[in-house]
C-alpha cells in the first residue's frame, strides 16, 4: 500500500458545511475517505476520456420473443468480442430478459458497443456502468 500523506486544504466554510452534510448522508465516517473517493472518481473519468483500457458493465433489458432482436444483439456482441469478458443472462419473467455484459478494453469501443445496443430496435433499456481496471487507481 502507498504511503499516507497528510496535507491541509483551504476551503470556504459554507462549502465545507455543505460537503460534511452531504458525505454524512452518504454514510462516510470521515472527510478523508470522501475526499479520496472524489479524487478516484475524477481519475476514472480521466481514464474514460484519455485512457487505453477501462472496465465496465453494460446492462440490457429486452423481450426475447422478438426473434430478430435476439439475433441482432448476438451479432453486435460478436462484432465486439474482443471487449467482452463475460455475460450473464437472467430470465426476469415470461417475456423479459436482463443481460449483464462485463467488458474490458478501449473506452471508445465500449461506448460504441453500448450505443449500438441502445440503438437496437426493441431494446427496452441499456445502460453503461463505467468502472476501472483498477491498475492506475490506488
Ligand atoms: Ni431470458
Q: What's the pLDDT at 136? A: 84
- Output the pLDDT for position 1: 67
CB of 100 closer than 8 Å to CB of 58:
yes
Residue 5: per-residue pLDDT: 93
Task: Give residues with Cβ within 8 angstroms of 89, minimum separation 6.
Answer: 97, 98, 99
Domain 54-131: CATH superfamily, name plus number:
ACT-like. Chain A, domain 2 (3.30.70.1150)
Selection from 68, 65, 57 nearest residue 120 by Cα: 68
Would you tell me how many other CB atoms lie within 10 Å of the CB of residue 128? 19
Ligand 1 centre distance from Cα of residue 98 (Å): 7
89 CA distance to ligand 1 centroid (A)? 6
Cα of 45 vs centre of ligand 1, distance in Å, is 33
pLDDT the model gives residue 64: 92
- Dist. CA 78 → ligand 1 center (Å): 18
How many Å is the Cα radius of gyration of the chain? 20
Per-residue H/E/C for 35-54: HHHHHHHHHHHHHHHHCCCE
State the CB neighbour count (10 A cutoff) for residue 96. 15
Parallel, antiparallel or unpaired: strands 84-91 and 96-105: antiparallel
Could you tell me the pLDDT band of residue 51, with boundaries at 50, 70 and 90? Answer: confident
Give distance in angstroms: CA of 108 to centre of ligand 1: 28
Mean pLDDT (the chain, rounded):
94
* Centre of ligand 1 from the C-alpha of residue 102, in Å: 17
Give residue limits of the domains in the chain: 13-50, 54-131
CA 84 to centroid of ligand 1, rounded, Å:
19
What average pLDDT does range 37-46 have in this prediction?
A: 92
Ligand 1 geometric centre to CA of 37 (Å): 36
Measured in residues, the chain has a length of 138
Amino acid at each position: 500500500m502507498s504511503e499516507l500523506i497528510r496535507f491541509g486544504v483551504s476551503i470556504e466554510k459554507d462549502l465545507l458545511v455543505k460537503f460534511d452534510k452531504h458525505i454524512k448522508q452518504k454514510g462516510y465516517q470521515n472527510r478523508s475517505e470522501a475526499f479520496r473517493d472524489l479524487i478516484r472518481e475524477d481519475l476514472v473519468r480521466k481514464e474514460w476520456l484519455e485512457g487505453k483500457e477501462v472496465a465496465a458493465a453494460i446492462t440490457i433489458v429486452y423481450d426475447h420473443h422478438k426473434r430478430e432482436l435476439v439475433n441482432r444483439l448476438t451479432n453486435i456482441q460478436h462484432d465486439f468480442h474482443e471487449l467482452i469478458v463475460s455475460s450473464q443472462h437472467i430470465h426476469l419473467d415470461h417475456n423479459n430478459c436482463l443481460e449483464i455484459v462485463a467488458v474490458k478494453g478501449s473506452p471508445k469501443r465500449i461506448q460504441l458497443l453500448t450505443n449500438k445496443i441502445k440503438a437496437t430496435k426493441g431494446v427496452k433499456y441499456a445502460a453503461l456502468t463505467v468502472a476501472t481496471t483498477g491498475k492506475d487507481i490506488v
